[in-house]
Amino acid sequence: MNKDHYKDIIQKSKHLFYLALQEDHTIFETNPALEMNLRFFQGPIVGMAFKDLIFPEDFSKYQYLLEKTSKSKKTTFEIDLRKLNSQGDDFIWTNWQFHLSPFESKYKVFGIGYTIHSDSIGKLKLPTTVSELHVKNDILEGLFENNLLGFWQWDIENKYDQFNASLQILLGYDSILTEKSKKQVKWKKHIHPLDLNHVEKQLTEHFESQGKNPFHCEFRVKSLNDDLIPVICSGKVVSWTQSGQPKLMVGTFFDISERKKSESILEQQNEFLKALTFNQSHLMRAKLANILGILEVIDIKKSPEEALDLLKIIKVEAVKLDKVLQESIQDSSNFSTKV
């Protein structure tokens, strides 16, 4: 593939995407088709990072193939990548052929791509009304941080739920559900029983406020395999009946397992600090008070024998204090190792 040979055709094409990348994967040049396809960014694509346009895991695959191709002294490689669609709320599958240009000063790699169809788990299917959710930025942030678990659509009127493929598999369903089995899939059935009342309350507030109160709820979901996953669920009713009843709702699950781990560590640290404070304020100070009390009454000149006995007591109390200090230090060291 020669860039100069194809450039005129690519610039005029409405179906082929073109981009040139610098060594740091910054986009140096594009064609109108790619700019138009990503116009939701409301600015030029040139200067952006390539990784901001594609699924994070796919960018890692791209880097791997780029390095492998370079080391093998080859000049081209081909890869399927999930690229943001024209609305920025989903990914579409694209096929790319990349060409390494190590002798060019302006760019390191250039590639030509086009849209393909794929039933991959990573492809996310959203209703067109998702643009009404006012959570597009949160969704994209979750995607790029790789903690978006999936999307669900709830047809409240007809009591019918729909999950995207990644969420189906996460919850233990087959990747392809039959029409009969789809009727049995309900997102609310996967809410942990102890969290259900809290979720129902949030939903009621969202419904009664006609969507003015956002549905943004933290709870645990349970898979068919009994795996528990802490999530943040953001959702909104996007269609209402004429009588003002909720008709269609769309939501997302974001994994907050790492955040929960951090909260658990902080809780352990607080408990440890409480115990340490108790030791310092009670045990250690009690031992020290004993020593100070004896030192105040000791008089070697008046009663050498009594003073000797008191010094022995001071030694015993000092040993006890040293033991408490060592235990406190050891506990602190063990706690640091665990966390």
- Domain interval for residue 236: 128-255
Contacts 24+ apart (CB under 8 A), 218-225: 218/256, 219/191, 219/192, 219/195, 220/191, 220/192, 220/194, 220/195, 221/171, 221/190, 221/191, 221/192, 221/253, 222/190, 222/191, 222/192, 223/170, 223/171, 223/172, 223/190, 224/171, 224/172, 224/173, 225/172
CATH number at residue 142: 3.30.450.20
Q: Rounded mean pLDDT of 319-331?
A: 71
User: Which range among 53-57, 116-120, 154-158, 229-233 shows the weakest confidence by mean pLDDT?
Assistant: 116-120
Q: Rounded mean pLDDT of 160-188?
A: 69
Higher pLDDT, 326 or 91: 91
56 and 133 housed in the same domain: no
**Structural contact between residues 233 and 255, judged by C-beta atoms closer than 8 angstroms:** no
Query: Which of 210, 235, 255 corresponds to the end of one domain?
Result: 255
The type of residue at 335 is F
Q: Tell me the average pLDDT of the chain.
A: 75
145 and 249 housed in the same domain: yes
- How many percent of the chain have pLDDT more than 70? 68
Note the pLDDT of residue 26. 92
90 and 163 housed in the same domain: no
Q: Please indicate, yes or no, if residue 237 is contained in any of the structural domains.
A: yes
Higher pLDDT, 146 or 65: 65
Q: Please indicate, yes or no, if residue 268 is contained in any of the structural domains.
A: yes
Note the pLDDT of residue 120. 39
Whether residue 197 is predicted with pLDDT greater than 90 in this model: the reply is: yes
Note the pLDDT of residue 268. 60
Q: Please indicate, yes or no, if residue 122 is contained in any of the structural domains.
A: no
User: Which range among 92-96, 179-183, 185-189, 202-206 shows the weakest confidence by mean pLDDT?
Assistant: 179-183
177 and 280 housed in the same domain: no
Q: Rounded mean pLDDT of 74-80?
A: 87
